[in-house]
Every structure is written in structure tokens, then in C-alpha cells.
Amino acid sequence: MLGLGILACGAGQPGRDVPRAYTVAASLLGAVALVAGITAVVNGSAAMLATLLAAMVALWVLASVRRAAALHRPAAS
């Protein structure tokens, strides 16, 4: 799954300007999700599983908001 995510990032649209705040927020949430997921599997922690779920939902909301904002932005010419 991690490999698919990395490939998807590399296959993004070149030349698109991605706001730095979005990149930082998504990266931090991704790191939290990774650590929470590993901890949940290794320790069987329900709290870490909940943290993983919350991080995934936050990433989904962040991506959806960014996509909705991009739809309303005028095309660059």
C-alpha cells in the first residue's frame, strides 16, 4: 500500500503548484498514520487504531477540500 501511494505521488500532474501548507499538513498526517498503524499492529493498541482512523479521515477531508478548491479556481492560461 505504501508503494502504491509513493507511485501515485510520483505520477501527479507535473507543473502544478501545490501550496506548501497543504504539503506539510498532508506529510505530517501521513507520518502520524504510519506510526499509529505500525504501533497498532505491533502492540494491538486500540488507541493507536483510533489514531490511525482519525489521521486517515483527516487526510481524506484535507484532500477533498483541496480538490473542491481546485475545481473553483480559474484555469491558468
pLDDT in 10s for each residue of the chain, 77 residues:
667 666 666 556 555 666 788 888 888 999 999 999 999 999 999 999 999 999 999 999 998 888 888 777 666 55
Whole-Å CA distances, 48 to 14, 15, 25, 60: 35, 37, 20, 18
* pTM of the shown model: 0.72
Name the residue with cell 480538490: 67
C-alpha cell of residue 13: 500532474
